[in-house]
Amino acid sequence: MSSWRIQPARAVRGRWRPPGDKSISHRAAILGLLAEGTTEINHFLTADDCLRTLHIVQQLGAHVEWRSGTSLAVTGVGRQPLQEPPDVLDAGNSGTTARLMAGVLASAPIFSVLTGDESLRRRPMRRIVEPLQRMGAQIDGREGASRLPISIRGNTLRAIQYVTPVASAQVKSCILLAGLRAAGITEVVEPYLSRDHTERMLQAFGVELEIQMGESGHHRVRLRGGQTLHACSLTVPGDFSSAAFWIVAALLLPGSDLIIEGVGVNPTRTGLLEVLASADVHLDWEQLDEQGGEPVATLRVRAQPLRAMQIGGALIPRLIDEIPLMAVLATQAVGETHIRDAAELRVKESDRIEAIATELRKMGAQIDPLPDGLRIQGPTPLHGAEVQSHGDHRIAMALAIAGLVAQTGETTIHEVECVQTSFPDFEQVLASLCVPR
C-alpha cells in the first residue's frame, strides 16, 4: 500500500489543463459502443474507472483503437446486437460503469454478469435494478439483486415513466440508456437536476430528447426508443471535480495565482462556484467555448478571504463530489458551515461523511458528522497528521489539500492507490503547481 507525505505549501502558481472529465469519458465510450460508425474521442481520461468502461465496451463488441496517449477511436455496433460477453464484466471501483452499463445490458438480448471491487459490491444497486425490472429485464443478484454481482438477461424492454426518489445522474442515465432500445417513450423525472452529460452527449450523437424544467426544480427527460446514434468527434473537457482540488488550494494559500485551462463548467457540476459566489468569492473567467455540447472555460484563481457557507437542497447534486473538499475549505472560513441534504455521501466509494470528519479531526479541524451532512467551525489552524483515505480517491485528495494548507507539520496519507480511479497524475500536478515553504 502506498502513502503520500505532504508538506505545507506557500502557494500554488502556474497554468494547468486538468485531465479529461471522468463522467464525460465514460459516456463517450458507451455512446461510441452504441453508435453507427467510428467515434473519435480526444482528451479521454485514462484513469482506472474509465478504462474499466472502455474494456467492457470492447467485451460487448466495440473496436477500440488508440491514436495517442489520450485520443482514441471507438467503432460501435450501431443497430447490430451487442456481443454476449464471454466472461464476467468487472466495473472495478466505478459506480458509473456499473450503473450505466446495466442500462445498456438490460436492453440487449444477451446474458451478462456485472461485478466490482469490495467497495462497489457494498454500494446500492436496487435504485437501478428496480426500474430496469419494471422495463422487463430479468435481473438477479445478491440481497434481492440490490448488490453486485448481478446477472442480467436482457430483452426488448418496454418504455416506462420513472420518478426517481434521488437526484442521481447514474440512475437517470441508466434508464435513458435502457430506453434507447425500448419500445415507446421513456421518461425520467428527478427531484432536482443532476449532471446532464448523458442528455447533452445523446444529442451530440443525433438523438432527439425532450427536456423540461419544472417550477419546483424537478426535471423531466423524454426519449423515444429505436433512434439511431451517429458517431461523432468529441473533445472531453477538463474535469471540474479534479480542478476543484486546485481551486480550493489556490483560494486558501496566500500569494496563489493559478490559471486552469480547458475546464468543463457545465452548470450541473459547478455548484462549488455558486457557493463561493454566495460567500463573495469570485473567480475570473477568461473565455468560454463549447465542446460536444459542454461549456468549457479558463479560470483564474487567487487567494481570498472566506466566510462560512450554507449548502443544501437543489445545490447538492451540483457539488456532490466536491463535498469532502468543501469540508477542508470550511475549516478555513470564518463562521459555522452547514452542509445538509447530502445523505447520498454515505453510499459513495466510502461513507464520505464519516471518513472526512474522522480524518480532518486528526488534523485539528472542528467538524461534526450529521446524518445527512457536516457541521464545520472555522477558521481553525490545521496541523499535519497521519490519516487514512478509506480507499476513496476523493478523500485522499481532499486530505492532500488539507496537508498543503496546514500551518505546521507533515501529513501522511495512507492507501492512496485509489487516486488512480480518477486522477492518476495528482502527485505530479502537486509537485508542479505548489511553491514550497
Smallest gap from residue 410 Cβ to ligand S3P (A): 30
Backbone CA torsion sign across 144, 146, 149, 150: positive
Q: Between residues 325 and 406, which has the closer beta carbon with respect to ligand S3P?
A: 325
Using CB under 6 A as the binding rule, whether residue 96 contacts ligand S3P is answered as: yes
Q: Between residues 187 and 196, which has the closer beta carbon with respect to ligand S3P?
A: 196
Smallest gap from residue 100 Cβ to ligand S3P (A): 7
Residues 259-298 contacting ligand S3P, CB under 6 A? none
Smallest gap from residue 109 Cβ to ligand S3P (A): 26
Smallest gap from residue 96 Cβ to ligand S3P (A): 4
Which residue in the set 119, 164, 168, 186 belongs to the binding site for ligand S3P (CB under 6 A)? 168
Total residues found in the chain within this entry:
437
Q: Between residues 263 and 433, which has the closer beta carbon with respect to ligand S3P?
A: 263
Residues 326-345 contacting ligand S3P, CB under 6 A? 344
Phi, psi at 129, each rounded to 5°: -65, -40
Which residue in the set 54, 249, 309, 320 belongs to the binding site for ligand S3P (CB under 6 A)? 320
3-state secondary structure the chain: CCCEEECCEEEEEEEECCCECHHHHHHHHHHHHHCECEEEEECCCCCHHHHHHHHHHHHCCCEEEECCCCCEEEECCCCCCCCCCCCCEECCCCHHHHHHHHHHHHCCCCEEEEECCHHHHHCCCHHHHHHHHHCCCEEEEHHHHCEEEEEEECCCCECCEEECCCCCHHHHHHHHHHHCCCECEEEEEECCCCCCHHHHHHHHCCCCEEEEECCCCCEEEEEECCCCCECCEEECCECHHHHHHHHHHHHHCCCCEEEEEEEECCCCCCHHHHHHHHCCCCCEEEEEEEECCEEEEEEEEECCCCECCEECHHHHHHHHHHHHHHHHHHHCCEEEEEECCCHHHHHCCCCHHHHHHHHHHHCCCEEEEECCEEEEEECCCCECCEEECCCCHHHHHHHHHHHHHCCECCEEEECCHHHHHCCCCHHHHHHHHEEEC
What angle (nearest 5°) sits at the alpha carbon of residue 394, between those of residues 56 and 178? 35
Among 166-174, 326-334, 365-373, 408-416, the segment contacting ligand S3P (CB under 6 A): 166-174
Q: Between residues 170 and 298, which has the closer beta carbon with respect to ligand S3P?
A: 170
Which residue in the set 169, 174, 221, 404 belongs to the binding site for ligand S3P (CB under 6 A)? 169
State how beta strands 257-264 and 294-302 pair: antiparallel
> Active site residue: 48, 90, 321, 392, which one?
321
Residues 174-203 contacting ligand S3P, CB under 6 A? 195
Q: Between residues 23 and 411, which has the closer beta carbon with respect to ligand S3P?
A: 23
Using CB under 6 A as the binding rule, whether residue 164 contacts ligand S3P is answered as: no
Which residue in the set 48, 196, 321, 392 belongs to the binding site for ligand S3P (CB under 6 A)? 321
User: Which residues, in sequence order, are bridge partners of residue 288?
Assistant: 297
Using CB under 6 A as the binding rule, whether residue 350 contacts ligand S3P is answered as: no
Using CB under 6 A as the binding rule, whether residue 41 contacts ligand S3P is answered as: no
Smallest gap from residue 170 Cβ to ligand S3P (A): 3
Whether 16 contacts 433, CB under 8 Å: yes
Using CB under 6 A as the binding rule, whether residue 23 contacts ligand S3P is answered as: yes
Smallest gap from residue 94 Cβ to ligand S3P (A): 9
Smallest gap from residue 353 Cβ to ligand S3P (A): 14
Smallest gap from residue 9 Cβ to ligand S3P (A): 27
Q: Is 321 a catalytic residue?
A: yes
Among 81-89, 169-177, 271-279, 424-432, the segment contacting ligand S3P (CB under 6 A): 169-177
**Count of CB atoms situated within 10 Å of the CB of 72:** 20
Q: Between residues 242 and 380, which has the closer beta carbon with respect to ligand S3P?
A: 242
Give the total of residues touching ligand S3P (CB under 6 A).
Answer: 10
Which residue in the set 75, 119, 164, 170 belongs to the binding site for ligand S3P (CB under 6 A)? 170
Q: Between residues 166 and 185, which has the closer beta carbon with respect to ligand S3P?
A: 166
Residues in contact with ligand S3P by the rule CB under 6 A: 23, 96, 168-170, 173, 195, 320-321, 344
* Residues with active-site annotation: 321
